[in-house]
Amino acid sequence: MKTYKIATIPGDGIGKEVVPAGREVMEALTTAGAGLRFEFENFGWGGDYYRQHGMMMPEDGLDALRGKDAILFGSAGDNQIPDHITLWGLRLKICQGFDQYANVRPTRILPGIDGPLKRCAAEDLNWIIVRENSEGEYSGVGGRVHQGHPIEAATDVSMMTRVGVERILRFAFKLAQSRPRKLLTVITKSNAQRHAMVMWDEVALQVSKDFPDVTWDKELVDAATARMVNRPKTLDTIVATNLHADILSDLAAALAGSLGIAPTGNIDPERRYPSMFEPIHGSAFDIMGRGLANPVGTFWSVVMLLEHLGEQQAAQRVMSAIEAVTANPALHTRDLGGTATTAEVTKAVCDQLAAGRQAEAA
Ligand code: IPM
Ligand code: MG
């Protein structure tokens, strides 16, 4: 039986509830006879670790993760610690340390979910957003001088390299090519951002030549928000810079019914390092510790993790189990207007996996 080494990092807030739920579903998959098993190692990094050690994860934390096949992450964010510390000290440290330069965010309206778009059918929204995950507006370049004085100055430089731009665009073209519609929209803002985004457009044109079977267009990021709402069907694969995609993916998740459902993968396409999968919702301090968190975003992230490991069949089983559960309004958590708990939804997905096995055996 194939064994995979998985690191779990629950992090902060509801991450501590949804990551164990994700692990339960992975274990249920093994019990259901999927022909694969997992060796988990849990890392208690995050806000609590910071209060004890003055850092979000140990200096040599990356070394502990290096030999894993994949990482399942919860969320980073603590109401007593500034956000830029929790983010840069843990999640970005892993993303950048392992050069997980492609952030992939699929969006669909799952069965039983009532999305806010009333003028389109659920099938009209089936997108995958590719977010540049290693540079751009999140490159960390910049500084502050004369702090607190009237002459204070601060910069955040968006740094784009030709290598960085080319590799994410190439990844996006390839992903678009693998999807039935072979349709890619390149998000830009080269009308206002007249240096790096102009290079981005040039590289897109250049890379497109290697993908003659992919239909592609360019859209300004502001216009893209309106298009997502008014003409969702005209979009399929979408590629954008780090910050542009950050914003568009929240819109996408909301249009699909809830941030609680949306998954993401921080991927090293070259497989030099482990990739990391996580729900896109944050730590949600308002509901933490109450068993109300929606674990579906984590379960869908598990699906992405399995796909990355090449376990397509197991991934499909978990996805079908998720869809059977979302289809039942009695199993909706609070973010979806329901009253189900994290534990109830988790059990329902595990039961579906077990039932799938019985159906197979019959
Ligand atoms: C996301 C999140 C993060 C980001 C936050 C928590 C800093 O919004 O993964 O989209 O902006 O990258
Ligand atoms: Mg975001």
Residue pLDDT, tens place only, 210-231: 999 999 999 999 999 999 999 9
Query: Cα separation of 101 and 166, whole Å?
Result: 11
CB 206 within 8 A of CB 199: no
Tell me how far apart the alpha carbons of residues 263 and 301 are, in angstroms, rounded to a whole number.
5
Q: What ligand is nearest to the CA atom of residue 279?
A: 1
As beta bridge partners, residue 144 has 154
In short, whether 220's Cβ falls inside 6 Å of ligand 1 is no
Q: Which pTM was predicted?
A: 0.95
pLDDT at res. 282? 86
Q: Is 17 in the pocket of ligand 1 (CB under 6 A)?
A: no
Amino acid at 360: E
Q: Predicted confidence band at 357 (pLDDT cuts at 50, 70, 90)?
A: confident
Q: What is the pLDDT of residues 11-51, one digit of tens each?
A: 999 999 999 999 999 999 999 999 999 999 999 999 999 99
| pLDDT tens-digit series, residues 93-118 | 999 999 999 999 999 999 999 999 98
Give the whole-number percent of the chain exceeding pLDDT 90.
94
- pLDDT, residue 360, reads 66
Ligand 1 atom nearest the C-alpha of 76 is 6
Rounded percentage of the chain residues whose pLDDT exceeds 70: 99
Please state the atom number of ligand 1 nearest to the C-alpha of residue 83. Answer: 7
User: Cβ distance 352 to 299 under 8 Å?
Assistant: no
To test the pocket of ligand 1, the residue of 73, 87, 107, 259 to mutate (highest count of ligand atoms within 8 Å of its CB) is 87
Give the pLDDT of residue 120: 86
Q: For residue 238, is pLDDT > 80?
A: yes
H or E stretch at 197: helix 196-208
Between the alpha carbon of residue 193 and those of residues 119, 189, 199, 201, the distances in Å are: 33, 6, 10, 11
Give the whole-angstrom CA distance, residue 134 versus residue 179: 24
Could you report the per-residue pLDDT of 129-138, keeping only the tens digit for each? Answer: 999 999 999 9
pLDDT level of residue 188 (50, 70, 90 thresholds): very high
Question: What pLDDT score does 362 carry?
Answer: 61
* pLDDT tops 80 at residue 358: no
* Cβ-defined contacts of 345-349 (< 8 Å, 24+): 345/21, 345/294, 345/295, 345/296, 346/21, 346/24, 346/25, 346/295, 349/25, 349/28, 349/295, 349/299, 349/318, 349/321, 349/322, 349/325
Residue nearest to atom 5 of ligand 1 (CA): 87
Q: Determine if ligand 1 sits within 6 Å of the CB of residue 78.
A: no
| CA-CA-CA-CA dihedral for 338, 342, 345, 349, to nearest 10 | 160
- List Cβ neighbours of 183 (8 Å cut-off, separation of 6 or more): 176, 214, 215, 216, 235, 236, 237
